[in-house]
Amino acid sequence: MKRIGVGLVIGLLPGLTALGESPQDWLGGQIVDLTHAFDEQSIYWPTEDGFKKHTEFEGFNEKGYFYSAYTMEAAEHGGTHIDAPKHFAQGKWATDEIPLERLIGEALVIDVSEKSTSDRDYQILPVDVMEWEALHGEIRPGAIVLFRTGYADHWPDRKRYMGTADLGAEAVSQLHFPGIHPETANWLANQRNVGAVGIDTASIDYGQSTLFMTHRILFEKNILGFENLANLEGLPARGVKVIALPMKIRGGSGGPLRIIAVIPD
Task: With respect to residue 153, please indicate whether it lies within any of the assigned structural domains.
Answer: yes
pLDDT score recorded for residue 27: 83
Q: Report residue 229: phi and psi, to 5°.
A: -80, 160
pLDDT score recorded for residue 257: 98
Please tell me what DSSP assigns to residue 138.
Answer: P
CA-CA-CA-CA dihedral for 218, 85, 225, 14, to nearest 10: -140
**Count of domains forming the chain:** 1
Task: With respect to residue 62, please indicate whether it lies within any of the assigned structural domains.
Answer: no
Strand pairing class (224-227; 81-83):
antiparallel
Domain range enclosing 127: 6-49+75-264
Cα 89 to Cα 245: distance, rounded to the nearest angstrom: 21
pLDDT score recorded for residue 14: 53
Give the CA angle between residues 172, 33, 84 to the nearest 5°: 45
Cα 175 to Cα 133: distance, rounded to the nearest angstrom: 31
Read off the amino acid at residue 37: A
pLDDT score recorded for residue 17: 52
What CATH number is associated with residue 244? 3.50.30.50
* 255, 263 Cβ separation under 8 angstroms: no
Could you read off the pLDDT tens digit of each residue along the chain, which spans 265 residues? 333 344 444 454 555 455 557 878 778 899 999 999 999 999 999 999 999 999 999 999 999 999 999 999 999 999 999 999 999 999 999 999 999 999 999 999 999 999 999 999 999 999 999 999 999 999 999 999 999 999 999 999 999 999 999 999 999 999 999 999 999 999 999 999 999 999 999 999 999 999 999 999 999 999 999 999 999 998 999 999 999 999 999 999 999 999 999 999 8
Phi/psi class of residue 223: alpha, beta or left (left: φ > 0; alpha: ψ in -120 to 50)? Answer: beta
Task: With respect to residue 81, please indicate whether it lies within any of the assigned structural domains.
Answer: yes
Task: With respect to residue 35, please indicate whether it lies within any of the assigned structural domains.
Answer: yes
If residue 67 lies in a helix (H) or strand (E), which one and from where to where?
Answer: strand 66-73
Task: With respect to residue 11, please indicate whether it lies within any of the assigned structural domains.
Answer: yes
pLDDT score recorded for residue 9: 45
If residue 135 lies in a helix (H) or strand (E), which one and from where to where?
Answer: helix 126-136
Task: With respect to residue 173, please indicate whether it lies within any of the assigned structural domains.
Answer: yes
Task: With respect to residue 64, please indicate whether it lies within any of the assigned structural domains.
Answer: no
Task: With respect to residue 59, please indicate whether it lies within any of the assigned structural domains.
Answer: no
Quick count: other Cβ atoms within 10 Å of Cβ 110? 23
* 200, 228 Cβ separation under 8 angstroms: yes
Residue 145, beta-bridge partner list = 108, 197
What is the dihedral sign for C-alpha 234, 260, 191, 254? Answer: negative
